[in-house]
A and B are shown apart, each in its own frame.
Chain A
């Protein structure tokens, strides 16, 4: 490992880091929207929305993320839907992780005690009020830890976007490898960057979790927010 020549690359890497973070955040927002829509749709009594949501969920959970990314990138334009790579990435990641998230939303809503449902019916709340005022505020703290795992999975999948020609961190490290070499410098550095990003996202989710719990009158010790808790087994992404 001789000359690192990293100085000339710093700007590129910062630009790449921005793309990585940007795609992760946009896709995460899309995934949350998809997760809530599908998660609530699979719980309805009407057979049509329930079946459609179930099919979408199983379709996106049953195939590989990379296949979906390529499908949106190469196949959709054939049918006249042409998007730029950024939109493709956000779409594909949003739908894929949204489908996993839908199961989280469904599970968390089901976990709210029956008495809460009965209570809100007894108080004559409309179904919309019941969901918004009673059920969701109680189920959101349950969703956050599994959502955090999904967010880390999402971040860990973003290197794939360089395959659809987005210039993220991975793209620049590949360029660096091709022109400078020093594989044993750049890839460990990149692993550390991703680790720091994961940890930052995790901290952010801990803060959200603490706030959601505090709103329910369950204050959280501040120390717990900074504790690193890796993906928990029972919540880690399942099929």
Chain B
């Protein structure tokens, strides 16, 4: 059987809208919300560790190491199935909420390291100048250090957004109807035809992530020269 006999263009075109729909509604939304959560939480983690907040700093270190070394699918299972059954504090959450939470917290642990590198790349003179000008600590961070730190690590942050984007299909395991789930269980399973929809899902990922990756490489080069 050749490729052309196996590939049914009508079937592919018929189901493309469903795939794109799931892509926009779940894959993209999960990536955007997860990235925002990761960006905020990661910054918080990085600052807590940098300022060495008593008690909190070692706790954050342990959480970061543990979360980074354990699989997202199991974390999803735990949050989606385990958390609601914890007596007293547990309540039911939707699969999508669990997915965004897990992706956000997981990547926050990577972001924390990225921010740390960024903060360390800000020259010591900047901190000293802040002290000399008696700028309040809050404004040291807000106006002087973070703008420079984040600018330096933007490409790394962007690369992690792309990684997270490619890991959104992991939400399949708790039944979020994102694109790959739709392709395999709904369309593929019903028609017992997987070739077109799985290939299309791959192409959609490629079409979105490859230009983004190239853009990040360009940004990296520009910042490198700046």
Interface residues of A (CB under 8 A from B): 58-59, 61-68, 70-71, 74-75, 78-80, 152, 155-160, 163, 170, 173-174, 177, 181, 183-184, 187-188, 190-191, 194-195, 198-199, 228, 230-234, 236-239
Cβ–Cβ < 8 Å partners of B194 in chain A: 70, 74-75, 78
Given A64-B169, A228-B65, does the pair A184, B198 have CB atoms closer than 8 Å? no
Q: Can you list 22 residue pairs at the A/B interface with Cβ under 8 Å?
A: A59-B206, A62-B205, A65-B167, A67-B198, A70-B183, A75-B195, A78-B195, A156-B71, A160-B170, A170-B73, A173-B77, A191-B75, A194-B71, A195-B70, A199-B69, A230-B68, A231-B113, A233-B110, A233-B156, A237-B163, A239-B163, A239-B209
Q: Do B202 and A183 have beta carbons less than 8 Å apart?
A: no
Q: Given A67-B202, A70-B194, are A62 and B117 also a contact pair (CB < 8 Å)?
A: no
A66 touches B1 (CB 8 A): no
The dominant DSSP class at the B interface is helix
Q: B6, B74, B159, B167: which has the most chain A beta carbons within 10 Å? A: B74
- B151 shortest CB reach to chain A, Å: 16
* B108 at the binding interface (Cβ < 8 Å): no
Query: Which of B78-86, B91-99, B123-131, B137-145 is near enough to bind chain A?
Result: B78-86
Residues of B within 8 A of A181 (CB): 85
B117 CB contact (under 8 Å) in A67, A74, A233: A233
Q: Which of B74, B172, B183, B188 contacts A187 (CB 8 A)?
A: B74
Taking CB atoms, residues of chain A closer than 8 Å to B169 are 64-67
CB of A159 within 8 A of CB of B198, answer no
Q: Which of A58, A67, A170, A234 makes the CB contact (< 8 A) with B201?
A: A67
| Nearest 5 pairs of A and B residues by beta carbon | A74-B194, A187-B78, A159-B73, A66-B169, A183-B82
Whether, in the assembled complex, B28 has its beta carbon less than 8 Å from a beta carbon of chain A, the answer is no
Q: Which residues of A contact B41 (CB under 8 A)?
A: none
Chain B proximity of A208: nearest CB distance (Å): 19
B36 within 8 A of A: no
Choose one: A78, A190, A194; the contact of B6 (CB below 8 Å): A78
Report Cα–Cα, A61/B202, bound state, in Å: 11
Q: Give the docked Cα–Cα distance between A157 and B184 (Å).
A: 19
How far, in Å, is A71 (CB) from chain B's closest CB?
5
